[in-house]
Structure 1
Amino acid sequence: MGKNLAFEGVNELMQVLDGLAGDKKLSNKVVRGILNKAAKPIIQRAQELVSKEDGDLQKSIGTIPGRGQGRGEQVYVGPRRGGRYKGYAGHLVEYGTAPHIIRAKAAGGHLHLRGNVFVEEVHHPGAAAKPFMRPAFDSKKDEAIGIIKDECRIIIESEFKSVFK
């Protein structure tokens, strides 16, 4: 069986994919599984790039299911929040923060600092960006695309053995 699949046009390819989706061979569940498999190298690299001190953020990096629009499902990769995941500050680490003032929420309230010090506001110096998601994607996207191609090729070739010689 050849490694190169050839179609005369996009319409023919869409007909083949529609036929597979109707037969559950490329159903949303199958596509989501392929996307989750392809996301693994990106997830692993992002976890390697996060500082060991940010253990909660590191553990939270994974796939986030999205709602499908059209063919297949969407899968996002990044810090997860809620439940057992504590990736709430992932965007702050990725993009950094500008210097800013932190004020007490209640009027006349105070912020409690270390050593029993109470103040009305604090001047936060900001934080430098420490990108982890974008570099992980940039370094592993070709590998992820290769996994998607290989998985789809296996399904298509197994369904159309008589077509591909």
Structure 2
Amino acid sequence: MLNVKLKGFAELEKALNELPEKIERNIVRSALRQAAKVIEAEAKRQVPVRSGKLRDSIRVSVKLKNGKPVATVTAGGNKRGQPFYAHFVEFGAAAHVIKAKRGKALAIGGGAVERVDHPGVRKKPFMRPALDGAARAAVQAFGEQVRRRLTKEGLNAPDVAVDDEKD
């Protein structure tokens, strides 16, 4: 297991705590966005591409949850035109039977059938490998963004560097 630590983080945290809460929250949100964008770029690089819809659906979101900023990188979506199948690509699907609803039929290849034996789908993970592969760069991006914003606010911000430790 790889733990990624940021050298200079204690000093960054101390400097953040000296700021008003709203400014601190904005700095952390922007740093989380920068870190998540690193993961997003790696996921877009690793995702299998046919039409490009799945790749184009990968996006970053930063929201407040219980008063704390939280960043997420998601793929797919539930809006019209967005791919619904991201989880099938990431995790695969076991072979299964698809049955028509009672009194209905399934339209397959111009004909109608009552059931289809689906062979399943082999998994092709892209989100987890993106996180694993870009964690170090994401933590570095987070630290650098906090440092940039603190400097912009007129505070003396320490240099930051990623420190890897193996468990």
Give the TM-score normalised by the residue count of structure 2: 0.76
Q: Rg bigger for which structure?
A: 1
Q: Is the 8 A contact 1:80 1:88 kept in 2?
A: yes
Structure with the higher strand share, 1 or 2: 2
* Alignment equivalent of 1:99, drawn from 85, 90, 95: 95
CA-CA distance at 1:96 after TM superposition: 0.2
Secondary structure class of the residue paired with 2:39: helix
Structure 1 counterpart of 2:35, one-letter code: A
Identity percentage of aligned residues: 32
> Runs of 5+ in structure 2 lacking a partner?
1-6, 159-167
Give the aligned partner of residue 50 of structure 1: 47
Pick closer, same or farther for the CA change 1:121–1:84 going to 2, 3 Å: closer
Structure 2 counterpart of 1:124, one-letter code: H
Per-residue Cα deviation, 1:56-86 (whole angstroms, up to 9, x for no partner): 1110001134432344x11100214144761
Secondary structure class of the residue paired with 1:127: coil
CA distance in 1, matches of 2:39, 2:55: 13
CA distance in 1, matches of 2:64, 2:144: 24
> Runs of 5+ in structure 1 lacking a partner?
8-12
Secondary structure class of the residue paired with 2:19: helix
Give the TM-score normalised by the residue count of structure 1: 0.76
Pick closer, same or farther for the CA change 1:42–1:88 going to 2, 3 Å: same
Bigger RCO (CA 8 Å, 6+ sep): 2
Q: Is the 8 A contact 1:59 1:85 kept in 2?
A: no
